[in-house]
A and B are shown apart, each in its own frame.
Chain A
Amino acid sequence: MVILGVTGSILEFEPELDRSLHSQLSYVTPVGRVLSLREIGDVASRRFNGEPVVAYLLSTSPDLSWQVVLPSGIVYVNQYTGEVLGLRPRGQTFLGYVRALHVRLANGTFGRNILKWSGVTMLLSLASGLYLWWPMKQIRIRGRWSNRQLWFDLHNAIGIFLLLPLAMLAATGTAIGFEDQLAPLIYKLTRSTPIHTTRGPVREPAPGATLITPDEAVAIARIQIPGAVPYRVQMPKYGGLYVVALRYPQDRITGGANQVGLDHYGKVVSLSRASDLSSGDRILAMIEAIHTGDVWGMPSRIVVWVASTMVLVQAFSGLLMWLYRSRIVPTPAPSTAESGL
């Protein structure tokens, strides 16, 4: 539970942390027009021995750089000037390790199983905590603090104030852990099925044929999903077709679930829209959005961060309460006078 809390609190602000750890790659000053994807891709490819572009990652904010995925890593490019800001090679990073710890204890199925049962344990701990708190209803940290008193009051106060967010985190985390078992049940209860995108036939490019550019692929995709903003473009060399992913910035739950697949000639061969998601898909997306704190944007992310961080304090204060409680305090033997002998 402590591992889940600590790693969860770090992951809550993972994009911001990652950007601050690589600020020279991440931030740009918006000036003038944004270069085309083709220009940005050419700059990145030329700089790294002509490596082909695998995908483009478009930033969500004008002061964040765009990224070009190459086989050797991700190149950060200033989308206004074409300056190559640097390359991040592939491999394990600190934040990647934190994520691996959070979802599978940096292990495989064994770690994943431990974590999903930790969610159940946390729910039981919260229920037992509420049961123990209820008769006293202690919410104040009282003035005269002995060590035990301090940790006891702190444990009670934090526990009751964060009961709801902690219960939501534990319940949604458990649901995500048991998704293989839960998802069929959700689809059954909602009488829906998961949405699968079908892919139409893809024409292979004929020699000498005029093929669309990534910028044209994006323009066609935007027409298919009006109002959505593109955030990722996969090149057809990698996977057989252009895949443009788009999101509705205002929809924090399923907004990113839009994808348009186009062949080399610009024909739409696959289309998945957030609006087409089934009710079962939406419930599963909602569970994840609650768990990550994305559901109400920054306010809910802060609540999730505070609750995750406080798991460590609760575990520590709980341990100290138990230690103080279990310590055998020797009582002094009564003096002869007191005993009346």
Chain B
Amino acid sequence: MKKAIAVVLLLAVNALAGDLTGKWSGSFKVDGADHNVPQLFILKQDGNKLTGTGGPDDSEQYPIEGGKVEGDRVRFELTTGEWKFTYDLKAADAKIDGDLQLKSTNQARTAQVSLTKAK
């Protein structure tokens, strides 16, 4: 019985975020900077596992690593040549936004991300 309740709760929590599968576009802005950097993600959600690719545009895409969806919380990482991007986002309706940590081999910065689902 407890197991069943736990499964139902887990499903309900996951349902909060809805299905993230699809194309998401938007931008991030590094804290203190005055310009937005474009972002495009092609996501695939399977339960609480999130896979797909992301990058600045269609032609430059990097694989999503360690993607997880827990309730409305969406977390994943993406590595380009120099930088590693760690996303900690919240999904609501057709929007995902939250924090981004950027780490190179000698620098660390933070940014704010905002994505909307392409129709």
Contact = CB atoms under 8 A, between A and B. Distances in A.
Interface of A: 54-55, 69, 71, 73-74, 88, 90-93, 95-97, 99-100, 104, 107-111, 199, 202, 232, 234, 237-240, 243
Contact of B32 (A69, A109, A232): A109
A108 B77 contact: no
Contacts of B62: 238-239
A96 B33 contact: no
B79 A238 contact: yes
B108 A91 contact: yes
A110 B33 CA distance: 8
Nearest to A201: B59
A104 B32 contact: yes
Given A107-B32, A109-B33, A109-B34, A240 B103 contact: no
B81 A234 contact: yes
Contacts, number: 67
Interface string B90-106: 00000000000001111
A99 B33 contact: no
B63 interface: yes
Interface size bracket, B side: 20 to 34
Interface string B54-94: 01000111110100000000000101111010000000000
Given A71-B65, A238-B80, A92 B32 contact: no
A97 B108 CA distance: 9
Contacts of B61: 239-240
Contact of A88 (B81, B82, B105): B105
A69 B80 CA distance: 10
Contacts of A110: 32
A100 B107 contact: yes
A91 B83 CA distance: 10
A93 B82 CA distance: 15
Nearest to A232: B81
B33 A108 contact: yes
Q: Most B CB atoms within 10 A — which of A69, A73, A110, A238?
A: A238
B43 interface: no
Contacts of B46: none
A54 B79 contact: yes
Nearest to A113: B34
A294 B62 CA distance: 33
Contacts of A55: 81
A90 B32 contact: no
25 contacts: A54-B81, A71-B77, A74-B105, A88-B105, A90-B103, A90-B105, A90-B108, A91-B103, A91-B108, A92-B107, A93-B106, A96-B104, A97-B107, A99-B106, A104-B32, A108-B32, A108-B34, A109-B34, A110-B32, A202-B59, A232-B81, A238-B79, A239-B61, A239-B62, A240-B59
